[in-house]
Amino acid sequence: MSLFETKCPMCKGTLWIDPSTLRIVDHQEADHKKADLAQFLKDSKQDKGWDAKMKAAREEEARRKAEIEEKFKQAKEGKGLGDGTPPGGLKSPLDWD
């Protein structure tokens, strides 16, 4: 009897499968390295690039929010798109041409 060896997609361990019955014969767990809090804190202090990226993302989101609020305010006041067309671009729902 020859066993089929494969990696488990869930736990990344090793599975041995019997090809005739398609049953798992044996399972060996993968060696997972435990996380070290001290090392994580040390690494996070060294990598300051994330702070700049997060700050830029927050500024971009605030700018986009202000722009959307301004467009909503203009639409609410009935200014339309600025070129004389009403919001939606049509004068009437029946004005398709």
pLDDT value of position 89 = 58
pLDDT in tens, the chain (97 residues): 688 898 988 888 898 888 888 888 888 888 877 778 888 888 777 766 777 888 999 999 999 999 999 988 888 887 655 555 555 555 666 766 5
pLDDT value of position 61 = 97
- The DSSP H or E segment spanning 64 is helix 49-77
pLDDT value of position 59 = 96
How far apart CA 69 and CA 72 sit, in angstroms, is 5
Q: What is the pTM of this model?
A: 0.37
